[in-house]
Structure 1
Amino acid sequence: MESITKNRQSLATLRAMVARAYGPDQVPSGTTEWVHELGHGWFNVAYRLRLRDGYQAVLKVAPPAGVEVMTYERRAMATELAALALLAQTSVPVPRVDFADTSRDLVYADWFVMRYVDADNYGVIRSSLSPCEQEQLDVEVGAATRSLNALTGSAFGPLGGPGVPTWRQCFLGLLEDVLHDGERRAVDLDYAGIRARAKTHAHHLDEVTTPHFVEWDLWPSNVLIRDGRIVCLIDHERAFYGDPLIEAGFVATQLPAFGNPTAFLRGYGRPPLTEPERTRRRLYNLYLTTTMVVEAVYRGRTDPDRNAWARARYTEALAAL
């Protein structure tokens, strides 16, 4: 996917990064056959590397310093590294981080390398799978999401802190950040309507009292599969401590355009949502779809069909509240 946030590097710089991470003896001797850009992500640029001894790695580079990003994205790479460190202590399959560099001397941006996982991207091949295969994998995604959510923190908000004591304060802050981002770039949204709906229904957020690890971005495109099973979860830069009900798998319970959530809910082991939970999920859908509309401007996304789809979902989410 194309985005102005992708911080592409020259071959000379990529060789220098390999030397720093793995040593000069691992720098490939070929021309370009050892490096391949992975194009599925929207935010960071990612390269698949083959080192001199055949070891394969993925290099991720944060956006260039001069590119304006949304408020919640400003420490995205630090968040991903914190998430990977947390999840490495669990049974959830995530990539192993080999090296991280925040010195910004080779590249004026943070970057890290991790072990490459040889598997298919579920989001890419999902349409080619049978309904039965899709259902089985959606059940697995539900179970994996529940495992992630089992981790808890001491406060709501960023993994690295500082957090806040209540979920209401945290969520309303997240929403306000996105609204400020939209206002800063003059994105056409019903700002007064969004704020009014959030204020009206905010008391339902007080039901959430424990800060759980939430991935927030666990869509099929961030799931790697092999032989019909999940082997790795990727792209953890949007994780934080919050309400598990904000996870991507629950979106379709209130916005049918996102698919059928039945298999995910079965894998998660979740009973039907209560009325207050449905209201919370509608708030989260409004936050998600508002973010989708605003981020299109920050990413320089010009695909008219994708942008129209996002705006239609935002309109639905606003009306649902």
Structure 2
Amino acid sequence: MDFHPVERASEAFQQSLTAEKIGKVCRRAFGGGATPVSAVELGTGMYNNVYRVTLADQARPVILRVAPPEARQFRSERHLMRNEFTSLPWLAVIAPLMPQVLAADWSHEVIGRDWMIQTHLDGIPAPEHLGTYPRTAWPAFFRQMGAVTRSVHDVRGPHFGPVSGPGYATWGEAVIASLEEIAADLDGVGLDAADVRKVAAVAAHESAVLDEVTEPRLLTGDLWTVH
């Protein structure tokens, strides 16, 4: 297999798979005869490892995404890939714009990490090409992005908090729990969490203001051109 991983230091948060492990994932997903011809790691993401994989018996490549090992995940970022997968039925409103999931595995039987294989979408990532257009053309791009975001934010849900849980009865509870997890993560790596705990204390004291939000909505929480 023609294999092109991103070179990283041994202590880096992201750690690439080996070519052998990519082959094991493809065989689990598509059957024992699935043979990867090439795998190119796409290095723009900062959380999951992402590969464009070409298979011998398929005309189009697929995208393999691999979550960090459990031990390297922060409490505030636990099981982000599983949460994304759980969110898919709620994103039906934009399904034509999204890749389809071909396989997903949380068992850790194959490579010891969560992974998901999706269809490959044609196009060029905005960070790579948007700057080549005149700035007068940018407003149309961002209006389209805003329209997509609006359709996502119109989706109502059964609880506050991550789609896959834990769920909270109020927005205030969800915000406070999130801040407490971030503070615990900072403690875990030896950083000062005092400022985050102050914000959590303010949120708890003023929770009535947060709880004026009474209807859970699906939110896009990290909206920039990379995504």
Q: TM-score range by the shorter chain?
A: 0.7 to 0.9
Change (3 A) 1:99 1:207: same
Q: Secondary structure at the match of 1:165?
A: coil
Distance in 2 between residues matched to 1:213 and 1:195, nearest whole Å:
22
2:81 partner letter: M
**TM-score with structure 2 length normalisation?**
0.86
> Conserved in 2, the CA contact under 8 Å of 1:104 and 1:110?
yes
Name the counterpart of 2:218.
213
Q: For residues 210-264 of structure 1, what are the alpha-carbon distances to aligned partners after superposition, in whole Å with 9 as ceiling and x for unaligned?
A: 0001121222101xxxxxxxxxxxxxxxxxxxxxxxxxxxxxxxxxxxxxxxxxx
Distance in 2 between residues matched to 1:24 and 1:118, nearest whole Å:
28
Name the counterpart of 1:23.
31
Name the counterpart of 2:64.
59
Q: CA deviation at 1:190?
A: 4.3
Q: For residues 81-117 of structure 1, what are the alpha-carbon distances to aligned partners after superposition, in whole Å with 9 as ceiling and x for unaligned?
A: 1123432x22341110000112211111111100011
- Within the alignment, does 1:160 sit opposite 2:156 as a pair? no
- Indicate the RMSD between aligned Cα atoms, in angstroms: 2.1
> Conserved in 2, the CA contact under 8 Å of 1:95 and 1:114?
yes
Change (3 A) 1:183 1:65: closer
- Within the alignment, does 1:86 sit opposite 2:86 as a pair? no
Which structure has the highest helix share of the two?
A: 1
Q: CA deviation at 1:6?
A: 2.2
> Conserved in 1, the CA contact under 8 Å of 2:94 and 2:152?
no
2:156 partner letter: T
Consecutive unaligned residues in structure 1, runs of 5 or more: 223-321
Q: CA deviation at 1:203?
A: 3.3
Moved more, 196-205 or 11-20: 196-205
Q: Choose which of 108, 117, 124 in structure 2 pairs with 1:104.
A: 108
- Within the alignment, does 1:11 sit opposite 2:22 as a pair? no
Q: CA deviation at 1:23?
A: 2.3
Q: Which has the higher contact order (CA 8 A, sep 6+)?
A: 1
Work out the number of aligned pairs and report it: 216
Q: CA deviation at 1:133?
A: 2.1
Distance in 1 between residues matched to 2:135 and 2:55, nearest whole Å:
39
Q: CA deviation at 1:184?
A: 2.6
Consecutive unaligned residues in structure 2, runs of 5 or more: 1-5
2:165 partner letter: G
Q: CA deviation at 1:198?
A: 3.3
2:71 partner letter: G
Name the counterpart of 2:135.
131
Distance in 1 between residues matched to 2:191 and 2:127, nearest whole Å:
29
Distance in 2 between residues matched to 1:166 and 1:112, nearest whole Å:
31
Q: Choose which of 40, 45, 51 in structure 2 pairs with 1:47.
A: 51
> Conserved in 2, the CA contact under 8 Å of 1:58 and 1:115?
yes
Q: CA deviation at 1:176?
A: 1.6
Q: For residues 39-68 of structure 1, what are the alpha-carbon distances to aligned partners after superposition, in whole Å with 9 as ceiling and x for unaligned?
A: 11110101001111322110011112332x
**Deviating runs (4+, > 6 A) in structure 1?**
none
> Conserved in 2, the CA contact under 8 Å of 1:124 and 1:221?
no
Q: CA deviation at 1:78?
A: 0.6
